[in-house]
Amino acid sequence: MVRIALITIAMVFVALFIFIPVIAVFAEALRKGVGAYFAAIANPEARAAIRLTLMTAAIAVPLNVTFGIAASWAIARFDFPGKQTLLTLIDIPFSVSPVISGMLFVLLLGVRAPLGGFLAAHGIRVIFAEPGIVLATLFVTFPLAARELIPIMQAVGSEEEEAAIVLGAGGWQMFFRVTIPNVKWGLLYGLVLCNARAMGEFGAVSVVSGHIQGHTNTMPLYVEILYNDFQFAAAFAVSSLLTMLAIATLIAKRFLERRVVPVKQAQDELAVKVAA
């Protein structure tokens, strides 16, 4: 009795907040028919937005994943003073509102700021242009890869790496032949999460973009413009692409979790065995 009541409540709640919105996106997108749907996506402005979104992710994701690898190596493999502080600092972007994240870069690099003014004098526009979008995206996606990689790097342990060194491997040989293969699923996991956020960020990018149509719009921004322009079906058509990306991300996440979690568990079991 309790069981059925609880399951029903859970299902209604999730349906209300998750499934109905997802279905609504596709229903609204196709409201004016399949032709209008594809026309909305193929529109030059839509294509420009898609291109900028892909470009932003193509810059932000590799940089933040590289950072994630470096940070997790330093933190999981070595002891140094201030490690706890470093971990806290890495988390900062998680606790900053997207609007404020974007605003930071306006304050730092806007035309009225000293640094921004200097760049503008040399013909470099950052704010209300693509570099601002990339920077804001870098900021909001900053902790994602590092946060996934640190615990995995710790769980895998350093014994195999030491073994490689004792067997005569150099630093890069050890890194590419032992470290990376051992954390590859975690790496991919961090990459997927980072990518989803990089392509989907709205608030922070909205502040720095300046809304120049067809030029500095990412897909989430373009959705807003279409919506405010009462082009609802087109707004939802572009939204449907982002929704598919979100669903693909969730599926990839689930798939990768299955491969990442056993690594951690095996290590836990080992630890228990050793302790016993």
Partner 1 sequence: MASNTKRSNVLPGFGLTLGFTLAYLGIVVLIPISTIFFKTFTLTWPQFWAAVASPRTIAAYRLSFSASIAGALVNSVFGFIVAWSLVRYEFPGKSLIDVMVDLPFALPTSVAGITLTAIYASNGWIGRYLAPLGIKVAYTPLGVAVALTFVGLPFVVRTIQPVLEDLDQEYEEAAATLGASRLQTFVLVIAPALIPALLTGFALAFARALGEYGSVVFISGNMPMHTEVVPLLIMSKLEQFDYAGATAIAVVMLTVSFLILLGVNVLQRWSSRRLTA
Partner 2 sequence: MSIELRNIAKKFGDFVAVDNLNLHIETGELVALLGLSGSGKTTLLRIIAGLETPDTGEVLFHGEDASDVSVRERKVGFVFQHYALFRHMTVFENVAFGLRVIPRRARPAEAAIARRVHELLKLVQLDFLADRYPSQLSGGQRQRVALARTLAVEPKVLLLDEPFGALDAKVRQELRRWLRRLHDEIKITSVFVTHDQEEALELANRIVVMNQGRIEQIGSAEEVYHHPANAFVYNFLGNVNLFHGRIENGRVFLGDTAVELENTHAHAHPETGKAVLYVRPHLLEIVMKPNGKQTFPATVKSINPAGPQVKIELVAEWGDMVQVEIDHERYQALHLEPGANVFLRPKEQKLFVYSI
From 235, 171, 246, 203, select the one nearest 101 (Cα to Cα). Answer: 203
Which of 49, 223, 234, 260 binds partner 1 (CB under 8 A)? It is 223
The C-alpha atoms of residue 186 and residue 174 are separated, in whole angstroms, by 18
Rounded distance, CA 204 to CA 140, Å?
8
User: Cα 226 from chain centroid?
Assistant: 24
Q: Is 151 in the site for partner 1 (CB under 8 A)?
A: no
Query: Tokens standing for 175?
Result: 């890194």
- Residue from 3, 122, 258, 273 that binds partner 1 (CB under 8 A)? 3
41 binds, among partner 2, partner 1, none (CB under 5 to 8 A by kind): none
For the chain, how big is the Rg over CA atoms in Å? 23
Q: Which of residues 165-224 bind partner 2 (CB under 8 A)?
A: 165-170, 173, 177-178, 181-182
Q: Which residue has the tokens 């690898």?
A: 69
- Which residues from 56-85 bind partner 1, rule CB under 8 A? 63, 66-67, 69-71, 73-75, 77-80
| Token pair listed for 24 | 């609504």
Q: Which of 6, 58, 124, 266 binds partner 1 (CB under 8 A)?
A: 6
Write out the binding residues for partner 2, residues 243-272 only, by CB under 8 A: 270
Contact pick of 199, 234, 237, 260 for partner 1 (by CB under 8 A):
199
DSSP string, 228-251: HTT-HHHHHHHHHHHHHHHHHHHH
State which residue, 43 or 243, has the beta carbon closest to partner 1: 243
Our finding on whether 55 is near partner 2 (CB under 8 A) is: no
- Tokens, residue 147: 């946060």
Burial of 165 (0-12, 13-18, 19+ CB in 10 A): middle
CB of 75 to partner 2, least distance (A): 19
Q: Does 181 bind partner 1 (CB under 8 A)?
A: no
Distance, CA of 263 to CA of 249 (rounded, Å): 21
Q: Which amino acid is residue 6, in one-letter code?
A: L
Of 42 and 270, which has the nearer Cβ to partner 1? 270
* Closest CA relative to residue 45, chosen from 205, 171, 229, 198: 229
Binding partner of residue 182 among partner 2, partner 1, none, CB under 5 to 8 Å per kind? partner 2
Q: Which residue, 177 or 253, has its beta carbon nearer to partner 2?
A: 177
The distance of closest approach from Cβ of residue 171 to partner 2 in the complex, given in angstroms and rounded to an integer, is 10
Residue 273: name its binding partner from partner 1, partner 2, none (Cβ under 5 to 8 Å by kind).
Answer: partner 2
- Interface residues with partner 2 (CB under 8 A)? 159-160, 162-170, 173, 177-178, 181-182, 270, 273-274
